[in-house]
Structure 1
Amino acid sequence: MAGRAVSRAPSGPWRIPPDFAGPAETSAITPDGRPGSVTTHESTSQERFVVVINIEEQHSIWPEGRRIPDGWNALGEAGPREECLRHIAEIWTDMRPASLRRSVDGQAASGR
């Protein structure tokens, strides 16, 4: 779900942090399979975003000027939504989380 920064509530459906502007709610299935909702943000063509990355080297975009959620860091790229998504498509070529890549690479190196 590139471009949609969401965080899991401790005991409920997916949600956006309270300081995220312009939410719109749609129906979805929560990670545990129950009906729930996903809060998304529809952007305007003038809105700017920053490319962000987490510890697992997963990429997303976040509205420029908003506090980046804990666990994510800005990569330095900023611009219109589509430009940021194109940049992510160019640099994020292996969608596996970093921990999985390291595990698989370690198993391959040890001959398992």
Structure 2
Amino acid sequence: MDNTDRARWAVLISSAGQYGLFPADKPVPGGWRTAGFEGTEEACVAYVDTHWTDMRPILH
């Protein structure tokens, strides 16, 4: 297990409604706010998968 396996991440939401992961021990960058969820990278990705709605049109 390396340090990335133990790293804590925070789920952030941009002013444009985009989701992103950011190291939980760093200050939140401008234009972003916390989504109120922290955990492993895997847990944060799962959180985003269940809370983010992809609004892009389906292209055929």
Report the TM-score, using the length of structure 1 for normalisation: 0.45
1:84 correspondence with 2:44: yes
Matched ranges for 1:7-86 at <5 A: 44-86=4-46
Superposition RMSD in Å:
1.4
Give the counterpart of 1:94 among 47, 54, 60. Answer: 54
Q: Which runs of 5+ in 1 are unaligned?
A: 1-42, 97-112
Alignment-mate amino acid for residue 93 of structure 1 = T
Aligned residues: 54
Q: Which runs of 5+ in 2 are unaligned?
A: none
C-alpha separation between the residues in 1 aligned to 2:17 and 2:5? 27
Moved over 3 A (4+): none
Larger Cα Rg: Structure 1 or Structure 2? Answer: 1
Distance 1:93 1:73, change over 3 A: same
C-alpha separation between the residues in 1 aligned to 2:53 and 2:4? 27
Percent identical pairs in the alignment equals 33
The C-alpha deviation readout for 1:60-82, integer Å capped at 9, x for no partner, is: 01001101110001111000001
C-alpha separation between the residues in 2 aligned to 1:60 and 1:82? 13
Structure with more relative contact order (C-alpha pairs < 8 Å, separation 6 or more): 2
Report the TM-score, using the length of structure 2 for normalisation: 0.81
